[in-house]
Amino acid sequence: MANPSLLILAGDGIGPEVMDEVKKVISWMGSARGIHFDVSEDLVGGCAYDAHGTPLTDATMAKAQEVDAVLLGAVGGPKYDKLDFSVKPERGLLRLRKEMDLFSNLRPAQCFDALADFSSLKRDVVAGLDIMIVRELTSGVYFGEPRGIFKEGNERVGINTQRYTESEIARVAKSAFELARRRNNKVCSMEKANVMESGILWRDVVTEVHQRDYQDVELSHMYADAGAMQLTRWPKQFDVIVTDNLFGDLLSDLAAMLTGSLGMLPSASLGAPMANGRPKAMYEPVHGSAPDIAGQGKANPIACILSFAMALRYSFDMGDEAARVEKAVEKVLADGLRTADLLGPEGGSPIGTAAMGDAIIAALNETL
Ligand code: NAD
């Protein structure tokens, strides 16, 4: 069988710096585990604009459609802030998500024991936390029509429309149930069925999908505002949370911050299965291009490395190898190694991006 294929789009700012450390892990998988990937690289974001006048060329888009998974670093930076909206670096990212139809956004909130004191919540509330937010990513109020700012009498009115079709809800619900089966088999669906018709339909369709195909998974429903409270009160009650684009945007940021630094947070965006059965997929850290520290070798590469671990698990069905990477990260943190973003108020001596990558490789070697 051909090697699985990866397209690396490192992007701007700290993107290439953290991606260099992911490349070490990819090479390690080949040399130590005999798992080889066909890796190609291309430009996205500001660097693509500099080279081609567009944040994503058609040729790069076509490559992204062909590979088994895309690994993305980060895009953007102050240099590009004044560009026209149509060629801003973020448009490259949005085009990838849209044309690959990546409707299911997976945002884990996992608390490594060594960082439990980093959270704004008490240690016992977050220690050992491992939940997954599944956010619908391609529909809902960010895309619904009509939208705009209109004149009504002598004042302006801003309009956005929350719109979901049954099939859009069903496919993201299915993705959450499938995920739950690989985890602790529980899904909590969140909407506002008490005040929104789209929420009533959401609850109906999630229940139908559950009744039809996933009765073995435990399903509960919660209003999204109550969900936000429960996430801060006792987040460990959840396993998988599935919710729409807007609520998912808020709840996934809230859940992520339960666990500490932006430099630790991976994500996956998945679409429909391709001919080979693998989902269309893009993996990326949640953080941006961090222009304030770019080029200084200070960035934390863990979010990007954990995004690659998600690729191993969700694109290539290599859960054991993903767990090996996660265990190596846990080990270096337990050993007290910290990039600057992971130092608490008491300070300490940080290590740099490359040293953190090397420490993770050393910890991977210890798993053999
Ligand atoms: P950011 O995530 O880039 O940075 C926020 C803060 O977190 C900064 O202080 C930064 O130094 C720190 N930080 C982020 N990642 C880190 C890491 N791996 N290690 C250590 N520290 C880290 O968000 P921002 O400053 O609001 O945005 C900067 C640029 O990134 C903007 O152009 C924005 O549009 C873009 N952006 C891109 C993405 C993406 O590519 N997915 C996401 C968010 C923001």
Cβ of 178 closer than 6 Å to ligand 1, yes or no, is no
42 is catalytic: no
93 in a structural domain: yes
Domain boundary among 231, 258, 285: 258
Same domain, 216 and 268: no
Cα–Cα–Cα angle for 62, 65, 69, nearest 5°? 130
- Identify the active-site residue in 101, 130, 213, 253: 253
Q: Which tokens go with 153? A: 């009498």
113 in a structural domain: no
Same domain, 187 and 273: no
Cβ of 356 closer than 6 Å to ligand 1, yes or no, is no
**Nearest atom (ligand 1) to Cα of 81:** 32
Nearest CA to ligand 1 atom 20: 299
Contact of 99 with 61, CB cutoff 8 Å: yes
The pLDDT confidence band at residue 24, using thresholds 50, 70 and 90, is very high
Query: In the prediction, which pLDDT does 119 show?
Result: 85
Domain boundary among 238, 258, 278: 258
Domain boundary among 215, 239, 258: 258
State the Cα–Cα distance between residues 356 and 359, nearest whole angstrom.
5
Give the residue numbers spanning the domain of 244: 130-258
Same domain, 281 and 313: yes
Same domain, 145 and 52: no
Same domain, 275 and 362: yes
In sequence order, what are the residues at sequence separation of 6 or more whose Cβ sits closer than 8 angstroms to the Cβ of residue 122?
none
Q: Report the range of poorest mean pLDDT among 119-123, 139-143, 272-276, 364-368.
A: 119-123
State the Cα–Cα distance between residues 127 and 117, nearest whole angstrom.
9
Same domain, 156 and 207: yes
341 is catalytic: no
Query: In the prediction, which pLDDT does 347 show?
Result: 81
State the Cα–Cα distance between residues 178 and 175, nearest whole angstrom.
5
Chain mean pLDDT for the chain = 96
The pLDDT confidence band at residue 117, using thresholds 50, 70 and 90, is confident
Ligand 1 center–CA 294 separation, angstroms: 10
Same domain, 278 and 250: no
Cβ of 307 closer than 6 Å to ligand 1, yes or no, is no
Pick the closest to residue 269 from 147, 95, 153 (CA basis).
Answer: 95
314 is catalytic: no
In sequence order, what are the residues at sequence separation of 6 or more whose Cβ sits closer than 8 angstroms to the Cβ of residue 312?
318, 319, 321, 322, 325
The CATH number assigned to the domain holding 237 equals 3.40.718.10
In sequence order, what are the residues at sequence separation of 6 or more whose Cβ sits closer than 8 angstroms to the Cβ of residue 30?
36, 37
142 is catalytic: yes
CB count within 10 Å of CB 259 equals 23
Ligand 1 center–CA 262 separation, angstroms: 8
Nearest CA to ligand 1 atom 1: 288
Cβ of 263 closer than 6 Å to ligand 1, yes or no, is yes
The dihedral through the CA atoms of 187, 319, 261, 118 has a sign that is positive
pLDDT tens-digit profile of 217-252?
999 999 999 999 999 999 999 999 999 999 999 999
Query: In the prediction, which pLDDT does 57 show?
Result: 98
94 in a structural domain: yes
Tell me the pairing of strands 266-273 and 104-110: antiparallel
State the Cα–Cα distance between residues 319 and 15, nearest whole angstrom.
25
State the Cα–Cα distance between residues 184 and 182, nearest whole angstrom.
7
Count of structural domains within the chain: 2
Amino acid at the residue 274: M
Same domain, 87 and 163: no
Same domain, 242 and 270: no
Same domain, 164 and 216: yes
* Best of 17, 96, 287, 300 for a ligand 1 pocket test (most atoms within 8 Å of beta carbon): 287
55 in a structural domain: yes
Q: pTM for the whole thing? A: 0.94
243 in a structural domain: yes
Ligand 1 center–CA 74 separation, angstroms: 8
- Identify the active-site residue in 101, 142, 186, 223: 142
Pick the closest to residue 295 from 14, 9, 75, 20 (CA basis).
Answer: 14
